[in-house]
Copies of this chain bind each other. A is one copy, B any other.
Amino acid sequence: MTDVIDSPIRNGVDTATLFATLNAVKGDPEIAKFQFRARNQWVSGTHNRSTISDFYGAKQEMKHNSAHTFDADHPAVLVGTDNAPTPVEYVLHALAACLTAGLANIAAARKINLTSVESVVEGDIDLLGILGLGRGEVRNGFQGIKVSFKLTGDDPEKLREVVEQSRARSAVYDIVTNGVPVEIATD
């Protein structure tokens, strides 16, 4: 039996590589400048498809292991063909995914073991906004989002602190709560 006192792998996170990456970025902050991309193509009606494959980061053009395609559509009740989730549901997935990835990293860095992480994300939206029936009083997007986490692992109090730190460092939480300037160009 091997008694591993301090394995670099915790929660599936290679903490040795994590700390090495942090040190590399400290030494050269240009490494941290990334650009992510999605390419979308209309299929028909509310149905369209994005491809995600390449990005820029660490001072070079990079590619994911494989290209990923994702469809989006509206359900029949919203005059679509329900080939896929709606665009707003992908935002909820992105938020859960970002907070959960952060949880695993932060817990690993703090030597806290996670056993399971589950979350439910609920977004309330009044479609009077997007339907143009809100008389300017109803916004187009979600009025509020609730994320409910259920975690098991080490000390519950420490796990709650990890959730709070993940929130404080989450890219998607920042995007969704604080907004981002968006420029739209039409050729």
Contacts and interface: CB of A to CB of B under 8 A. Distances in A.
Interface residues of A, number: 127
Contacts of A130: 102, 169-171
Interface string A154-187: 0000011001000101111111111111111111
Given A100-B48, A174-B139, A114 B144 contact: no
A108 to B, nearest CB: 8
Nearest to A106: B132
Contact of A125 (B35, B133, B160): B35
A36 to B, nearest CB: 5
A140 interface: yes
B50 A93 contact: yes
Interface of A: 11-14, 17-18, 21-22, 25-26, 29, 32-48, 50, 52, 55, 57-58, 62, 64-65, 68, 70, 72-75, 77-105, 108, 114, 116-133, 139-151, 159-160, 163, 167, 169-187
25 contacts: A12-B81, A18-B79, A29-B128, A32-B128, A34-B124, A34-B126, A36-B92, A37-B122, A38-B120, A38-B121, A39-B121, A40-B117, A48-B96, A52-B92, A68-B84, A99-B184, A130-B169, A141-B173, A141-B175, A143-B181, A147-B182, A148-B185, A151-B186, A159-B186, A176-B180
